[in-house]
Amino acid sequence: MLDEATKNLLIAEINKFLPEDSQNKLISAMRYVLLAPAKYIRPSLVIASSRVFNVEVKKAIPIAAAVEFVHTYSLIHDDLPCMDNSDTRRGQLSCHKKFNEATAVLAGDALLTLAFEVLSSLNENSNKRCEIIKVLSQAMGAKGMVRGQTLDIDTDFDKIKEIHLMKTAKLFAVSCEIGAIIGDATDKQRRVLYDYGINLGLIFQAKDDVEDYKQEEINNFMSVLDKSEIGNYIDSLFKQASDNLSKLSGDTDYLYDLLNQVRKDG
pLDDT tens across 109-165, in order? Answer: 999 999 999 999 999 999 999 999 999 999 999 989 988 888 755 567 888 889 899
> Could you give the count of Cα atoms lying within 13 Å of 46 in the half-sphere of its Cβ?
26
pTM: predicted TM-score of the whole model, two decimal places: 0.90
Q: What is the pLDDT of residue 198?
A: 98
Nearest Cα to 240, choosing from 202, 205, 185? 202
Q: What is the pLDDT of residue 216?
A: 64
Nearest Cα to 223, choosing from 141, 177, 161? 161
Residues with pLDDT less than 50, the chain: none
Residue 192: burial class (beta carbons within 10 Å; 0-12, 13-18, 19+): buried
pLDDT of 36-53, one tens digit each? Answer: 999 999 999 999 999 999
Spatial contact of 233 and 206, defined as CB atoms under 8 Å apart: yes
State which CATH number among 1.25.40.10, 1.10.260.40, 1.10.730.10, 1.10.600.10 fits the domain covering 4-265: 1.10.600.10
Nearest Cα to 241, choosing from 184, 172, 185, 186? 172
Nearest Cα to 196, choosing from 32, 52, 40, 37? 52
The dihedral built from the CA positions of residue 143, 88, 238 and 171, taken in this order, carries a sign that is positive
3-state SS record for 145-160: HHHHHHCCCCCCHHHH
**CA 115 – CA 25 distance, rounded (Å):** 19
Spatial contact of 108 and 76, defined as CB atoms under 8 Å apart: yes
Residue 34: burial class (beta carbons within 10 Å; 0-12, 13-18, 19+): buried
**CA 150 – CA 100 distance, rounded (Å):** 23
C-alpha distances out from residue 72 to 90, 223, 230, Å? 11, 27, 27
Q: Percent of the chain having pLDDT more than 70?
A: 95
> Euclidean distance between the first and final Cα of the chain, in Å?
11
**CA 253 – CA 51 distance, rounded (Å):** 10
Domain spans of the chain, in order of start: 4-265
